[in-house]
Structure 1
Amino acid sequence: MSRLSNLRSVGHKLYSGEMEYDFVGRQKRWYAVSALILILAVGGLLGRGLSKGIEFEGGAVYTVSKPGITVSQAHEAINEYTGDHEPIVQKVGGDKVRIQIASKDTAKFNDIKNALSNKLGVSQNNIESELVGPSWGKEISNKAMQGLVIFMILVVIYLTVAFEWRMALAAFVALVHDIVITVGVYALVGFEVTPGTVIGLLTILGYSLYDTVVVFDTVRENTRSITKQNKMTFSAAANRGLNQTLVRSINTSVVALLPVGSLLFVGGGLLGAGMLKDIALSLFVGLAAGAFSSIFIATPLYADMKERTPEMRALKKRVEQHQAAQAKAAAKAAAAGEPAADTAADHDADDEDEDDDGEPAGAGSGTRTPGPRRQPVSNRSRASRNRPGGKRKH
């Protein structure tokens, strides 16, 4: 209970601004970590390449009928014919085993059938065999790529209309980041790419985008009138919005990863479920990459682009001047033995007396509290002072 209360306390402090972690200010660090992960992913993709399943590369499917047959017996019977591809062996019913071997070499089709017949001790009449060509998998690949491109275009259009083009660009970079990492992990671990992989990949894009949009919405609220004050830069306000949604992002990611991890490690690892394992791996890696990118990539990248605009440069300059004035006032107060807060307030009041147009500098900004003003001199008193000799009429 104490740990739970501590976690709630941390979440409240992050939301209220009492506690903050500078994600945006350390953006170069996150970019470096992300670049390292991407290099490993691209290296695995270019080095080992993707291991395509039977649906994409073609191959053969055998269904063996024999009472008491086990998955391990079927594995031993076809080990010498599998090559670099891990065969998918599944129990179908009580007395059947289904074997999938992905391979472009269909010349060994009959040899594998004969080996299964001899090693498992069954007649060839009890072995159903089927060749699968790669044309169907190629068509699925093209459709998946078309769907991915259409999804990206719609995402960019929606975010540009709902937010702005810089947010759309940052979200697009985060999505590409997640895709490359997920595909690279598939290449590194050697999992076969199946239609289940494509389904999982398209699913994580929506989840990653959702997490990014939640953060962006909070950042937009925090920076709506950012130029009307001089105490916080755009990056600081964006970082506060990111901290406010941090606990929510972590909670949703953990809750989503727990069942997916169960599918991957229990369903895929212990039970040996083929397509279940493929979907779970893409979801697990994609969800983790999406949580990382929404916190460490999308928002810092958006803040970096926004800080380059003339308005935010001018704001940053005003904030720096305001902070320097406060520091000077605090030092002066410390030397005089006065409270620093009072001196700073007097300094703000002096600064706000008049701007270049003769109007209060803080008018409409809502960021400073004007100090005591001098009372205007009445017309009668002004007239009496203007008389010759400076004497007033009693």
Structure 2
Amino acid sequence: MSKLGNLGARLHRGEVGYDFVGHRKIWYGVSILITITAIVGLAVRGLNMGIDFQGGAVFTTPKTSVSVSQAETYAEEAAGHEAVVQKLGTGGLRIQVAGLDTSKSDEIKAALAKDMKIDTENINADLVGPSWGEQIANKAWEGLAIFMVLVVIYLAIAFEWRMAVAALVALIHDITITTGIYALVGFEVTPGTVIGLLTILGYSLYDTVVVFDSLKEQTKDLTKQTRWTYSEVANRSINGTLVRSINTTVVALLPVAGLLFIGGGFLGAGTLNDISLSLFVGLAAGAYSSIFIATPLVADLKEREPAMRALAKRVRAKRAQAADDGHTGAGSEGGYSEDSADSEDAAPAVVGPRPRSGTGATSSGPRTQPSSRNRGRGRPSGKRR
């Protein structure tokens, strides 16, 4: 842990680092490939929308010896639609039939009671009409759109429009990947899924805003110096907050992984999958986009400005001059060094009085003592007569 802490401190000070911005084309290519895969999954398989979005019925039975596979067969034969059956902790079953005409629920309930040998009154039926499901879906999309608009407005005011655009691209990137994985895995989309999506979007913005805040602070009066370009400062900002982003992401992923793999996988609590999968995928995608997508994209947009182009040109010219002088490393006596090259950008040296004797300080160079005006005058031998 101490080594990780030392690494984080060295990253923050800029002593070590990885060139994220310089390799941005690689990360853009990886993100495009993942996004295309997610879009293909959405187009081919589509989302498994729950009854809250497309209407249907949910039948809950008391404790029974009927297996999940047998209950699926009974429900599909009775309803004529695909059924999703989950085992409950009480020993009962939760049978969900989406896209079902609610007027036929009584017939299906009676058929299930007969096949499963359960009293009809002991089976509970919850119905959702198709119009209500469509209304819920529209409200979810409206809420997501309003969230996006508010985020762009806030970032444009707090930072600048380029950062707002980059954050919006990162958010769309995270949503596309998360929904694409939902389509490929086949998990059911419920209101819990929408809640999970909104949660991970907020978390993704948190990581992105942390980097943007550091970048905004370090780029004040950037054009007044000739040592760093905007892309280089952006890269320093990413490296300075890298360990923090990794630590917060890992800490957030651990409990979500417990919900997804232990609760939903080993314990069979399928209802946890709705929100845990969106949280798990979204947290990982959000951390990735804040480091590899948002900040490099801001650097791309800023480098197109005339002022930043002129700055980059001055930085290159100064470094070329340093290379021509042959003193790009540690400066030799009377020569050029990188630190001395930027002396006009650094704070001026403080000049003070020479320390008095007896303070332990030494001065450089010989000291010339003033000669006495009449020393030795009229005394050739220097002896008294």
TM surpasses 0.5: yes
2:197 alignment counterpart: 201
Residue 77 of structure 1 pairs with residue 71 of structure 2: yes
> For residue 49 of structure 1, what is the aligned residue in structure 2?
46
Deviation per CA, 1:189-212: give whole Å up to 9, x if none.
Answer: 001111110111111111111110
AA aligned to 1:21 is Y
Distance 1:69 1:312 in 2: 71
Is residue 78–residue 115 contact of structure 1 (8 Å, CA) maintained in 2?
A: no
2:204·2:283 contact (CA, 8 Å) conserved in 1?
yes
Measured in 2, the distance between the counterparts of 1:341 and 1:111 equals 97
Counterpart position of 2:370? none
Letter in 2 for 1:33: V
Q: Distance in 1 between matches of 2:8 and 2:23?
A: 21
Pick from 320, 335, 347 the counterpart of residue 343 of structure 1: 335
1:84 deviation in Å?
A: 8.2
Match of 1:38 in 2: 35
Separation in 1, partners of 2:271, 2:69: 18
Distance 1:193 1:85, change over 3 A: farther
CA 321–137 in structure 1, closer or farther in 2 if over 3 Å, else same: same
Name the structure 2 match of 1:275.
Answer: 271
Q: Aligned partner of 2:266: which letter?
A: L
Deviation at 1:134, TM superposition (A): 1.9
> Which residue pairs with 1:383 in the alignment?
none
Cα distance change on mapping 1:345 and 1:124 into 2, 3 Å: closer
- For 1:210, the equivalent position in structure 2 comes to 206
Q: How far apart in 2 are the matches of 1:211 and 1:129?
A: 43
Q: Which residue of 2 aligns with 1:16?
A: 13
The DSSP-based 3-state class of the residue aligned with 1:344 is: coil
- TM-score normalised by structure 2 residue count: 0.82
* Separation in structure 1 between the aligned mates of residue 338 and residue 293 of structure 2, nearest angstrom: 42
Q: 1:327 to 1:205 in 2, by over 3 A?
A: same
More displaced stretch, 283-292 vs 139-148: 139-148
1:254 aligns with 2:234: no
Post-superposition CA distance 1:346-373 (Å, at most 9, x none): 9968xx9xxxxxxxxx76x43798xxxx
Deviation at 1:13, TM superposition (A): 1.3
Instruction: Work out the CA distance in 2 between the residues paired with 1:259 and 1:347.
Output: 48
Amino acid in the other structure paired with 1:6: K
Q: What is the TM-score normalised by the length of structure 1?
A: 0.80
Asked whether the 8 Å contact 1:78–1:112 carries over to 2, the reply is no
1:1-394 to 2 correspondences below 5 Å: 4-65=1-62, 68-69=63-64, 73-79=67-73, 81-82=75-76, 85=82, 87-91=84-88, 94=90, 96-104=92-100, 109=105, 112-330=108-326, 340=332, 342-345=334-337, 365-366=345-346
Aligned-residue offset at 1:112: 4.1
Task: Give the CA deviation at 1:128.
Answer: 3.3
1:100 is paired with a residue whose SS is: strand
Query: What residue identity is the alignment partner of 1:41?
Result: A
- Structure 1 residues 22, 306: closer, same or farther in 2, change over 3 A? same
Alignment CA distance shift 1:315-1:273 (3 Å): same
The verdict on how the C-alpha distance between 1:339 and 1:253 changes in structure 2, with shifts beyond 3 A counting, is closer
Amino acid corresponding to residue 76 of structure 1 in structure 2: Q
How far 1:214 sits from its partner (Å)? 0.3
1:251-284 per-residue CA deviation (whole Å, 9 max, x = no partner) reads: 0000001101111111111222233210001111
Kept after mapping to 2: 8 A contact 1:166/1:306: yes
Q: Aligned-pair distance for 1:11? A: 1.0
SS at match of 2:67: helix
Aligned equivalents of 2:246, 2:12: Cα separation in 1: 14
- Give the helix-richer structure, 1 or 2: 1
SS of 1:101's partner is strand
Provide the rounded CA distance (Å) in 1 between the counterparts of 2:187 and 2:170: 24
Which ranges in structure 1 are unaligned for 5 or more consecutive residues? Answer: 353-361, 370-394
1:248–1:325 distance in 2 versus 1, CA, 3 Å: same
Q: Distance in 2 between matches of 1:294 and 1:313?
A: 25
Deviations 1:306-364 (A, max 9, x none): 01101110110111011111111126x99xxx954741159968xx9xxxxxxxxx76x
Give the letter for the 1:215 counterpart: V
Q: Gapped runs of 5+ residues in structure 2?
A: 350-385
